[in-house]
Amino acid sequence: MNTKYFNPYTDFGFKKLFGEEASKDLLIDFLNQLLPAHHQVATLEFKNAEKLNDTAKERTAIFDIYCQTDEGHKFIVEMQKAKVNFFKDRSLFYSTFPIREQAQKGGWDFKLLPIYFIAILDFHYDEQEEMRKFRRDVSLKDQDGELFYDKLHFKFLQMPLFNKQANELESHFDKWVYFLKNLETFDHIPSILNEPIFNKGFEIAEISHLKPDQYESYQKSLLDYWEVKNVKDTAFNEGRAEGKIEGKVEGKIERTLELATALKDQKVAIDIIIVTTGLTQQEIDKL
């Protein structure tokens, strides 16, 4: 089916909307719906994640964003869009990169900039259905629920759990989520989103505006997205039919190997299999 706008969950679409200099105003507007009042973004700059050689293959859909407020306060946002196993583990692991990069040689006093890890996900990471929430704001708290450390925050958006229709949108944040979740299905700009910031988003996302080489890159990105998504959905449904118990380590390992085998049989690129399953290339080669 031909669509007017691209899929924002593809690597191409995600980077086009949020990862380019020309679209910084979209990213700033979106981030300011998630961040607290004292960390509203005034300016930002991207750090190229591919320079982090030890995990470059896994971090192609992650942006390290250095932000500054009007008052001059600086902080870091890690923004991710990915379909991966062991998602919570990876989120914690990835958050260590902007921590380590702040280390200074010599007489450093270990003072760190605040870090926000933000993930926009088109899948459920919560294993138990009754525990699922569209939005989770996570921070380090003590046994009494009091905030222990105010410089490390996680914000997870499970997009499939957002079900509001246009007439139910209550905030600018709601509009952003509605825009992202439904962008690929729109054939015109809904009146509820007829605002300058979203009009620019629609203009960027219109497929007819892409140059030939961009269109080719998008089609490849879309194919990669659907290959991974279809195989993961199939593996999940088969697992449920067979009555596999979620959460057991043995079951997770078995499903990971089955998924990697299925992806390999479908000739999915090795880099995508690595990101999706968490396996190393050597482990995949042995399958």
Residue 5 lies inside a defined structural domain of this protein: no
| Residue-number span of the structural domain to which 90 is assigned | 11-209
CA dist 210 and 207 (Å) reads 5
Query: Average per-residue pLDDT in the chain?
Result: 83
pTM of the predicted model over 0.85: no
- Indicate if 186 and 167 belong to the same structural domain: yes
Residue 3 lies in a domain: no
Model confidence at 60, pLDDT cuts 50, 70, 90, reads low
Per-residue model confidence (pLDDT) at position 50: 46
Q: Decide if 59 contacts 81 (C-beta within 8 A).
A: no
Q: Is residue 156 part of a domain?
A: yes
Chosen domain end from 185, 209, 233 = 209
* pLDDT interval class at 161 (50, 70, 90): very high
DSSP string, 55-94: GTTTTTTEEEEEEE-TT--EEEEEEE----SSHHHHHHHH
**Distance set, CA 82 to CA 91, 121, 193, 240 (Å):** 11, 7, 26, 23
Q: How confident is the model at residue 147 (pLDDT cuts 50, 70, 90)?
A: very high
Same domain, 29 and 147: yes
Is the same domain home to 109 and 172?
A: yes
The per-residue pLDDT for range 87-132, each reduced to its tens digit, is 888 888 888 888 888 888 888 999 998 999 898 888 887 767 778 8
Q: How does 16-31 read in b/e, with b if 16+ C-beta sit within 10 Å?
A: bbbbeeebbebbbbbb
Number of domains making up the chain: 2
Assign 201 a pLDDT band (cuts: 50, 70, 90). Answer: very high
Encode pLDDT of 202-248 as tens digits: 999 999 999 999 999 999 888 888 876 665 555 545 555 554 444 44
